[in-house]
Amino acid sequence: MQRLLIGLFAMLGLSPALYAADDIDNLPALGSQANFRSFSEDLAGVLSYKAVAPAAPMGRQGFDVGVQVDSTKLQHPALWDLACGCDTSDRVLLPKAYVRLGAEEADLTFSYGKATGSNLALWGVEAQFALAIEDAAVPAVALRGNYSRLNGVEQLDFSSTGAELAVSKRFGAVTPYAGAGRLWITSTPKAGAFEREKFNADKYYAGVNFAMGAHANLALETDKIADTTSYSAKFVWRF
């Protein structure tokens, strides 16, 4: 576990200077529709819903609370410099808080996050439905539907809707998992002479969940949305 935590800190990079995001308040400086589209594609990687959890449902009525951090590498950091009138890093660090409501074969999760040093914030919701309940021979399989929406940026409306299929199998205290899906993105400018962008993106992810006693879990995940890669860590308490 100690090696995992050291790797986690190295993965996310804890120096704030590496992750300064600043306010997105200069959208017209993007200059062209092509630049607005590229900027929106990066936003899809940053803002899309990331469950960071195995496919198994809670299996009973109850709830989880969790904290999560996503570190997303931008494909077009120079465009972010224009959109915020600043000198950013090529990564965005996005802490989040989660509440998950559980049942026998379905879960409902709500989340809120805000990028460090920025007006970039979002809220999200996910519904997960069990397609196969895990046993000694069968992995857990789940269908996930999710929605996330940008909050706090006056010059842009942005939303992401996703559908995913996830699979996981527990081995003692360790549960590897993976999934794939499709995102539907809408990016609507409220400043500048740009047109709305609507596009799709494929999503793939893999991770591992570690049970830390009866009421806590740590999950580490990497996901790829189009050409944008994110690394995430999530710590959950179960009640």
Range with the largest mean pLDDT of 39-48, 83-92, 114-123:
39-48
Who wins on pLDDT, 8 or 238? 238
pLDDT of residue 6: 42
* Answer CATH for 2-238 from 2.40.128, 1.20.120, 1.10.10, 3.40.50: 2.40.128
Mean pLDDT, residues 17-33 taken together: 78
Judged against a pLDDT cut of 80, whether residue 8 lies above it is answered with: no
Who wins on pLDDT, 200 or 60? 200
d(CA 174, CA 218): 10
Q: Band of the pLDDT at 99, cuts 50, 70, 90?
A: very high
- Quick one: 46 exposed, middle or buried, by C-beta within 10 A (0-12, 13-18, 19+)? buried
Mean pLDDT, residues 45-71 taken together: 92
Who wins on pLDDT, 143 or 88? 143
pLDDT of residue 150: 97
Mean pLDDT, residues 75-85 taken together: 92
- The per-residue pLDDT for range 132-149, each reduced to its tens digit, is 999 988 999 999 999 999
Judged against a pLDDT cut of 70, whether residue 2 lies above it is answered with: no
pLDDT of residue 117: 78
d(CA 74, CA 9): 19
Q: Which residues on adjacent β-strands are paired with residue 144?
A: 128, 164
Q: Band of the pLDDT at 12, cuts 50, 70, 90?
A: low
Judged against a pLDDT cut of 60, whether residue 10 lies above it is answered with: no
d(CA 220, CA 16): 21
Who wins on pLDDT, 59 or 39? 39
